[in-house]
Homo-oligomer: A and B are copies of this chain.
Amino acid sequence: MGKTDWKEEAKELKGKVAKLKKRLRRIAREVAEEVADKAGAVETAIGQAIAPAKGKAALKTSPLAPKAGFPALPVIDGVEFAAVQAGVRYQGRTDVTLIRLAPGTAVAGAFTRSATRAACILDCQAKLAQAPETDAGAAILVNSGNANAFTGLVGENSVAAICAAVAQVASVPAGRVFTSSTGVIGEPLPHDRIIAKLPDLVGALAADAMEPAARAIMTTDTFPKGAMAEIEGEGGTIRIAGIAKGSGMIAPDMATMLVYIFTDAKIPPALLQRMVSRQVDDTFNCITVDSDTSTSDALIVAATGRSAAAEIRDLRSKTAREFESALRGVMLDLAQQVVRDGEGATKFVEIQVTGAADVADAHRVAMAIANSPLVKTAIAGQDANWGRIVAAVGKSGARADRDRLAIRFGEFVVAEKGQRAAGYDEAAASAYMKRDELVIGVDLGLGTAARTVWTCDLTHQYIDINADYRS
């Protein structure tokens, strides 16, 4: 004991102090790390929590997009595509598409019936109403980012300037240049930016560039849309391939959004137009995202006649019927893809109305249900709230008898003869509503007319996208 003891104790204490200091530093470091970690996690959590309130966040691909992605489209002999970045409104993405159609191509179309339709729509309609010069070739020029709608004489001049410039660089008559514009309404179109890119576009034209074209025509779309079909004609294969864009302002009236379908079939323009006109009614006119009809809906179908198959001359021939059916399939596929990309959509909903007094009534009832904000929000909430379907039928204006009405979700009958079905099972109905794809059946019990339409649900993201689209 004594001297050495104190020394020992002092040494020990020194060691303790050093250890404590070390411990303090370690604790400080650990606390700092943990706090930083937690702060990061909290930041992420807050970010995710408030993400729905931030309209500007990049849109994720719709959960309803086709699982297989963009389809492998066949090359349509006589059609070439090119897309460039012209900075019409968007930066860092392609926004102008040129499509060149070979001499001999028949062109048909269907367009919005909106009373405030855009300058390019009026121009397309005027051109298609004239006797077609199929020998001279044709072109389609599409820009996204600006709809050139409600832009008065300035807008008409933009269309004329673009058509003249395309005619020159693509060597087709100006009367056979069809333009489409999609995006913001009411702002003058900076057509100089488009015209400046035409030489690049013509230089880049390629028969296999249909997917880049499908991407360049997108606005709030979250995936490019394509569809195809092939049939065997007399003496050769006939191919059909189409692309579309559309996500919001979808309640087509006579046509839909922007849709371009190409085929190598040999078919006179008048015959093609008749097929397009009669198939548009129960394809594009049977979809709705938000009940808002666009100023700019356009469907153009071009047939190059390059297939080895014999010309289609008679609507009643076997090939004509097969071709029209295949064309209808491509139209319906594209129309349904537009619904699958409905702004904010999480559910794809098929509404089957049967037993109506006539088709107009069936359509009215189906659309009243498809456009009802209360039905659409209930679907978003996975709530089997069939009472709102009853209310929608009632408000539709169609002939309906409460006591003959039956409603089913998929195979489950939820209501019949004017009241809840005897075997109604809320748990089963609720479980059904959790699916991604729903079928709502309504039988009016009055007649034999039917109509099926397609829509999506109404979610927070629809509001995010549309409360902040222009800015």
Contacts and interface: CB of A to CB of B under 8 A. Distances in A.
B467 A418 contact: no
A150 B21 CA distance: 76
Interface in A59-109: none
Number of copies: 2
Contact of A149 (B17, B53, B387, B403): B387
A116 B373 contact: no
Given A21-B20, A403-B152, A466 B114 contact: no
Given A6-B7, A116-B391, A249-B388, 20 more contacts: A13-B17, A27-B28, A35-B35, A50-B50, A52-B52, A115-B396, A116-B400, A117-B402, A149-B390, A150-B387, A152-B418, A153-B419, A185-B391, A292-B373, A292-B388, A292-B392, A378-B470, A381-B466, A383-B468, A463-B463
A414 to B, nearest CB: 8
A204 interface: no
A242 interface: no
Interface string A20-31: 110110011001
Nearest to A374: B292
B463 A377 contact: yes
Contacts of A186: 386-387, 390, 415, 419-420
A20 to B, nearest CB: 5
A391 B467 contact: no
A1 to B, nearest CB: 11
A383 B469 contact: yes
Interface stretch (A259-267, A278-286, A309-317, A454-462): A454-462
A248 interface: yes
Interface size class of A (residues with CB under 8 A): 35 or more
A469 B24 CA distance: 54
A184 B386 CA distance: 10
A253 interface: yes
Interface string A352-377: 00000000000000000001111001
Nearest to A156: B418
Contacts of A6: 3, 6-7, 9-10
B391 A114 contact: yes
A399 interface: yes
A220 to B, nearest CB: 11
A147 interface: yes
Contacts of A292: 372-374, 388, 391-392, 395
Interface string A153-188: 111000000000000000000000000000011111
A427 interface: no
B462 A373 contact: yes
A114 B152 contact: no
Nearest to A465: B377
A87 B187 CA distance: 56
Contact of A150 (B401, B402, B463, B471): B402
A42 interface: yes
A30 to B, nearest CB: 10
